[in-house]
């Protein structure tokens, strides 16, 4: 509930502070008196775009402060709780300042706040209905939101949204998987062929280098055998070998008298050991030499095969083993990727089925809510001067459309204004005045299902009507104010007479400036204002008598 509004230096208002009735209030006044200024100031406080041109001439900056009591407003309470915004005694104070350079600042309960956050909070505090909002009523998204709010479909909406989020996550995973470089069928066939060829080759990890060494050994086998045999003879096997000479010298020096040859004898001992070890190692290598011409042929054939396959696979022969391992890993990754894609396709199919189930349940609930609301709105707009009008809400489930977070329903408000007419979309048939009444009917019918208390502003939505219809519009606004706060800007005395509080907006010249002021009217002043609204500038006894009849409170 809007408790009060403070305005300083805004358009024609120098300084103004207003307290508001908790139920229904009306604003009346001559055309151009500034009734829209109050709404503009309130919209500015709730985060609307600020403009330097809105500043008045009375000071260098503009300031607007709106005081709200949210004791019965659960939406606003949830917002403050969710955003961890401190409140005291369920009171919200929203303050806006704009300087002459157009720079703007906003505060909620004394804490600076960005405009988008204030706008979000404002949607739970006040609903403003005017020409712009009638245009908004024609939008599919707005119509769908009305059905969801009326049917209290939050659980179904949350289920559908969660199913949509799960499905989108799998789609994103699939997209990432596709971008990892999945192989096409031709690439897979080539990879399998290369791996099969290398599998048959069965190249060992160091085989290519070992074969080259074996080839060198086999090529020079005969010369190596002769050289090794000569070396063995020189070391130990020959008649005059190194080991015998070392042993003879070792014994002579060991037995010699007159000098100490112990160091030399030790060196000869070590030399004899080294000669023996060299002999044994050379003997081992001799045994490893195979002077078989067939072996040389086999080695040459093996190397030729390795080189041929290396050329075919476009890789250096010495890198062929590592290349094979990379191809095997790539092939396995391709298999794993295909398996993962298959699993993901299955998960996507299941996820889409779950989404469609949730979306269909939501659609069924919307259809049920639409039928109930259609009947209620029809009854109300017939009371609002459209006795032959019929209202219908079409909900069609579009299964073949891509998944959406709020379901796959197409919602459209349909109306047949006159008897015998077929139903047509609301946007194609209803006039401005008819839209105003339908908008009011929708708001009242939706509030019947809503335990949340808000403030509603109806800005001249009664344009184009009069007489008994205007009387009914006022009565319905008063009905809405039983559980909500209602403000109405009107030119009709039949509407104004239903208000609990009547505020007159007027303007006057003070010095060099024109200013607007707002006055709370007492009962007698209300009668006089209603008479003015009825009969113009000349107020007669008849218009005063009629004004008294318009006054319901």
**What pLDDT is recorded for position 53?**
61
Q: Which ranges in the chain are annotated with CATH 3.40.50.300?
A: 1-129+453-520
Beta strands in 379-498 (DSSP E): 390-397, 409-416, 424-425, 455-459, 485-489
The C-alpha atoms of residue 161 and residue 167 are separated, in whole angstroms, by: 10
**What is the number of alpha carbons within 13 Å of residue 516 lying toward its C-beta?**
26
Collect all residues with Cβ–Cβ distance below 8 Å to 493 and sequence separation of at least 6. 530, 531, 533, 534, 547, 550
List Cβ<8 Å contacts ≥24 apart for 349-353.
Answer: 351/163, 351/166, 351/167, 351/170, 352/167, 352/403
**What pLDDT is recorded for position 394?**
94
Beta carbons within 10 angstroms of residue 245's beta carbon: 11
**What pLDDT is recorded for position 432?**
66
The C-alpha atoms of residue 144 and residue 411 are separated, in whole angstroms, by: 6
**What pLDDT is recorded for position 50?**
67
Beta carbons within 10 angstroms of residue 180's beta carbon: 9
**What pLDDT is recorded for position 448?**
62
The DSSP H or E segment spanning 360 is helix 320-383
Evaluate whether 71 touches 90 at the Cβ level (below 8 Å): yes
Q: Two tokens at 144?
A: 């769908």
**What pLDDT is recorded for position 441?**
85
The DSSP H or E segment spanning 124 is helix 115-125
Give the rounded distance of the alpha carbon of 97 from its chain centre.
32
Beta carbons within 10 angstroms of residue 447's beta carbon: 21
Beta carbons within 10 angstroms of residue 96's beta carbon: 23
The C-alpha atoms of residue 28 and residue 487 are separated, in whole angstroms, by: 11
Provide φ and ψ at 348, rounded to 5°. Answer: -65, -45
**What pLDDT is recorded for position 68?**
94
| Domain 1-129+453-520, second-level architecture | 3-Layer(aba) Sandwich (3.40)
Reading the chain (553 residues) residue by residue, the pLDDT tens digits are 999 999 988 888 888 899 999 999 999 987 765 677 888 888 888 888 766 666 777 777 889 999 999 998 888 998 999 888 888 888 999 999 988 887 889 999 999 999 889 988 988 898 887 655 666 677 888 889 889 988 889 999 999 999 999 999 998 888 877 766 666 677 778 888 888 888 888 888 888 888 877 777 666 666 666 677 777 778 887 777 888 888 888 888 888 777 788 888 889 888 889 888 888 888 887 777 665 667 777 878 888 888 898 898 888 988 889 888 888 888 777 777 777 888 888 999 999 999 999 999 999 999 999 999 999 999 988 888 788 999 999 999 998 888 999 999 999 999 998 888 899 988 777 666 677 778 888 878 887 666 678 888 888 777 777 778 888 889 889 988 988 999 998 889 999 999 999 999 888 876 677 788 889 999 999 999 999 888 766 788 888 888 888 888 7
**What pLDDT is recorded for position 21?**
94
Q: Two tokens at 247?
A: 């042993």
| pTM for the whole structure | 0.63
Sheet (strand 513-520) strand order: 126-129, 455-459, 485-489, 24-28, 501-510, 513-520
């Amino acid at each position: 509930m809007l408790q009060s509004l403070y305005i300083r230096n805004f358009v024609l208002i120098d300084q103004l502070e207003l307290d508001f009735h908790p139920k229904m209030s009306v604003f009346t006044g001559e055309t151009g008196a500034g009734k829209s200024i109050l709404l503009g100031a309130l919209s500015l406080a709730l985060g609307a775009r600020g403009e330097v041109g809105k500043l008045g001439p009375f000071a260098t900056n503009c300031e607007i402060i709106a005081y709200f009591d949210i004791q019965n407003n659960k939406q606003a309470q949830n917002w403050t709780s969710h955003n961890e915004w401190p409140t005291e005694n369920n009171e919200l104070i929203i303050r806006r300042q704009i300087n002459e350079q157009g720079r703007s600042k906003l505060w909620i309960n004394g804490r600076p706040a960005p405009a988008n956050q204030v706008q979000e909070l404002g949607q739970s505090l006040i609903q403003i209905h005017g020409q712009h909002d009638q245009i908004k009523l024609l939008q599919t998204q707005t119509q769908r939101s009305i059905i969801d709010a009326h049917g209290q479909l939050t659980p179904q909406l949350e289920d559908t949204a969660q199913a949509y989020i799960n499905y989108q996550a799998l789609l994103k995973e699939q997209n990432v998987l596709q971008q990892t470089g999945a192989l096409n069928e031709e690439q897979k066939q080539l990879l399998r062929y290369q791996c099969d060829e290398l599998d048959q080759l069965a190249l060992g990890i160091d085989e290519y280098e070992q074969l080259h060494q074996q080839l060198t050994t086999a090529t020079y086998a005969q010369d190596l055998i002769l050289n090794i045999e000569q070396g063995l003879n020189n070391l130990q096997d020959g008649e005059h070998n190194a080991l015998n000479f070392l042993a003879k010298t070792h014994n002579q020096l060991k037995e010699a008298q007159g000098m100490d040859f112990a160091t030399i004898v030790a060196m000869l001992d070590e030399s004899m050991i080294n000669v023996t070890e060299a002999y044994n190692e050379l003997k081992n290598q001799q045994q490893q030499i195979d002077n078989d011409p067939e072996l040389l042929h086999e080695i040459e054939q093996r190397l030729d095969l390795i080189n041929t396959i290396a050329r075919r696979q476009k890789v250096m022969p010495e890198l062929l083993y590592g290349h094979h391992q990379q191809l095997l890993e790539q092939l396995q990754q391709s298999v794993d990727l295909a398996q993962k894609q298959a699993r993901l396709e299955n998960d996507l199919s299941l996820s889409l089925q779950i989404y469609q189930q949730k979306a269909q349940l939501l659609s069924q609930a919307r259809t049920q809510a639409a039928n109930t609301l259609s009947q209620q709105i029809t009854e109300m707009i017939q009371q609002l001067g459209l006795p032959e009008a019929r209202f219908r809400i079409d909900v069609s489930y579009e299964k073949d459309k891509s998944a959406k977070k709020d379901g796959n329903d197409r919602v459209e408000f349909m109306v047949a204004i006159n008897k015998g007419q077929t139903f047509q979309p609301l946007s194609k048939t209803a006039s401005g005045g008819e839209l105003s009444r339908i908008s009011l009917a929708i708001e009242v019918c939706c509030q019947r299902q809503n335990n949340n208390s808000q403030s509603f502003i109806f800005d001249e939505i009664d344009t184009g009507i009069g007489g008994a219809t205007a009387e009914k519009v006022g009565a319905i606004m008063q009905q809405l104010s039983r559980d909500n706060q209602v403000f109405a800007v009107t030119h009709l005395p039949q509407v104004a007479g239903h208000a609990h509080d009547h505020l007159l907006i007027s303007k006057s010249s003070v010095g060099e400036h024109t200013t607007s002021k707002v006055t709370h009217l007492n009962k007698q002043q209300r009668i006089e204002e209603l008479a003015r609204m009825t009969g113009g500038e000349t107020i007669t006894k008849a218009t005063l008598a009629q004004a008294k009849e318009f006054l319901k409170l």
